[in-house]
């Protein structure tokens, strides 16, 4: 019998055998050819790899804190929004794509009175 990962195969016909028990004294019988196969699960080893072993430019850029450069934000323009602090009806706004590409952008509003707020599209 040969083991590949957690899969155990018959040495006679190559058929996939029932799940291993991990007991070397246990015998697995092949449903296809009827051959007896000694359970080799204890010979199977499991390996783990460290993500640092496979460097990735995307993984290096991933962070809990997302940084947005001023150059990534679109030009500031004026919108017909009402400031909740002073009642001004025209405020500046800037938009930025902070969430996933399949989600809307975030709009940042700023009034001349100094009040700032944002909304997600």
Would you list which residues are annotated within the binding site? Answer: 10, 13, 30, 33, 83, 86, 111, 113
Reported as a single tens digit per residue, the pLDDT across 103-114 is 888 999 999 999
Reported as a single tens digit per residue, the pLDDT across 30-73 is 888 888 887 766 555 667 777 777 777 777 667 667 676 766 65
Record the tokens describing residue 109, joined without a space.
């509003």
Topology (CATH) of 72-120? N-terminal domain of TfIIb (2.20.25)
In the structure, what pLDDT confidence band is assigned to residue 1 with cuts at 50, 70 and 90?
very low
The answer on pLDDT for 24 being more than 70 is no
Rg (CA), the chain: 31
Enumerate the domain spans of the chain: 2-43, 72-120
Distance CA 54, CA 99 (A): 26
Would you list which residues are annotated within the binding site for Zn(2+)? Answer: 10, 13, 30, 33, 83, 86, 111, 113
């Amino acid at each position: 019998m040969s083991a590949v990962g957690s899969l155990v195969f018959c040495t006679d016909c190559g058929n996939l055998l029932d799940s291993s028990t991990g007991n070397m004294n246990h015998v697995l019988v092949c449903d296809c050819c009827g051959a007896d196969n000694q359970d080799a699960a204890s010979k199977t080893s499991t390996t783990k790899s460290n993500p640092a072993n496979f460097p990735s430019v995307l993984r290096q850029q991933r962070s809990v804190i997302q940084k947005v450069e001023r150059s990534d934000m679109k030009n500031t323009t004026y919108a017909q929004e009402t400031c909740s602090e002073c009642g001004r009806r025209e405020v500046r706004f800037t938009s930025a794509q902070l969430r996933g590409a399949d989600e809307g952008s975030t709009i940042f509003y700023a009034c001349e009175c100094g009040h700032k707020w944002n909304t997600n599209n």
